[in-house]
Chains A and B, each alone.
Chain A
Amino acid sequence: MTSQDQKLYEDLCSDDPRRLAGAIRLLTRRVNVIARRMVLGNSGTRSDVDDVVQDTVLAVWQQVRSGSYQVRPDVALDAYATTIVRNKWLRTLQRRSVVVPGDLDENRTSDAFTEDRRLPDLEEALARLGQACQRLLKLFYWEGYSMEEIARLLEITMEAAKVRKYRCMLRLGEILRKKNGRAE
């Protein structure tokens, strides 16, 4: 792994949105080069390339963040990304009932390698909250508004906004803990 890969890896693990966005931009460009070669060379379109890039970058980020992908001096990040691009494109081709080229299929790895159910589970739990809860929590966590600004936006008191936020979080926590309890 190069020093550039090492820096990229550290930034991908970061909780700082700016650092993360910078790393994602760099990763997107690198994955794009790989995906263009593989998808356009195997009966795909530019739109397919965009889809594969989006899915792959997200998957790499998930794997890095969850610790499934560990920095190894002998494995470049590009090689890892190539494996994910190949698997995702193979799955798309199979869904479309396209005959998969032999050399593409031979290098296929296990689906477990690229699958991470954690994020979809979280998204599903969030979706189970009402629209009002989702809006308030997204304003706070996604957009970075303060509770004071949120209270103004929702035209309620700051106290009411806080109560609403914590109740929404408690509900979300309950859903997730029940889900995890079932999974365990």
Chain B
Amino acid sequence: MRPTDQVQQWEWIEAYYQNKLPAAERLVFEQELARDADFRETALRLQTADEALRILSLEHTVRKTVRHELAHRQPLRRWRLGRVVVSGMVLIGLGLAYLTFDRVDLQSYRDDVTLTQRYRASGDDLQETDLTPRQRAFYRDFFDAQAFLANGQPEMAIPSLETLSRADSLRPYFRQAVQWHLLNAYLLNNQPDNADATFQLLDQSGEPVYPINRTDRWKVWWQIRWKKLAP
């Protein structure tokens, strides 16, 4: 039986297109559709609107889900970026720790053939040599200082090296070798200001002829600054 109340009639129409009416009532509904053009128009409008709204609500679900899914990826992206930044900071930290705490290996400089061959060729214990006594004394002082440094006695090496560095008759190669060892001795003896001054002297001593490893140069530069900052 078709409801007479307006709202109930709309609900009746809704129940029909949602397949909620029993078979007998569906039959009555369809008879009303066929008989009453206004009723048919109302039913069609409600059904059209319901279908449209269902589609639009699904579209809303689609848009919301895509937005959520894309936004959800942002933290993951940030996390990846964060990992790169942290890795970079760890690498920088490791690099700085290496520069700060790894001492210059002076053994490799003690093995410098260029410096020793002239002295050794002269025969350490021979009197007939092409080296002057003064030159022989220079070499001896320098090798003694190297030995003190190797023994962990920089304070013993410093006076000899300071004396040598003040001599004005040294070849550039030998002068730079003395300055390099002196600044390392100062560093080992916790005298960063003296080390810094010697480092600058070494830098200003003209063309670098004494081979100093680039990493070692960075190490002493950084360690001088580090010791000045954190005495």
B42 at the interface (CB under 8 A from A): yes
When chains A and B are docked, how far (Å) is the Cα of A125 from the Cα of B55?
13
Inter-subunit contact A21/B61 (CB<8 Å): yes
Known: A159-B7, A173-B46. A21 touches B52 (CB 8 A): no
Inter-subunit contact A57/B62 (CB<8 Å): yes
Cβ-neighbour of A172 out of B7, B49, B55 (below 8 A): B49
Cβ-neighbour of A24 out of B10, B48, B62, B73 (below 8 A): B62
A174 at the interface (CB under 8 A from B): yes
Give chain A interface residues in 142-184, CB to chain B under 8 Å: 142, 159, 162-163, 166, 168-170, 172-174, 176-177, 180
Cβ-neighbour of B10 out of A58, A141, A166 (below 8 A): A166
When chains A and B are docked, how far (Å) is the Cα of A173 from the Cα of B44?
7
Inter-subunit contact A53/B63 (CB<8 Å): no
Inter-subunit contact B7/A20 (CB<8 Å): no
Inter-subunit contact A29/B45 (CB<8 Å): no
- Residues in A neighbouring B10, C-beta threshold 8 A: 162, 166
Inter-subunit contact B66/A119 (CB<8 Å): no
B107 at the interface (CB under 8 A from A): no
Q: What size tier do the contact residues of chain A reach?
A: 35 or more
- B46 → chain A closest CB, angstroms: 5
Cβ-neighbour of B56 out of A141, A162, A170, A177 (below 8 A): A141
B124 at the interface (CB under 8 A from A): no
When chains A and B are docked, how far (Å) is the Cα of A163 from the Cα of B49?
15
A126 at the interface (CB under 8 A from B): yes
B113 at the interface (CB under 8 A from A): no
Inter-subunit contact B45/A17 (CB<8 Å): no
- Residues in B neighbouring A166, C-beta threshold 8 A: 7, 10, 46
Chain B interface (Cβ within 8 Å of chain A)? 6-7, 10-11, 42, 44-50, 52-63, 65-67, 69-70, 73
Chain A interface (Cβ within 8 Å of chain B)? 15, 17, 20-21, 24-25, 28-29, 32, 50, 53-54, 57-58, 61, 65, 118-119, 122-123, 125-126, 137, 140-142, 159, 162-163, 166, 168-170, 172-174, 176-177, 180
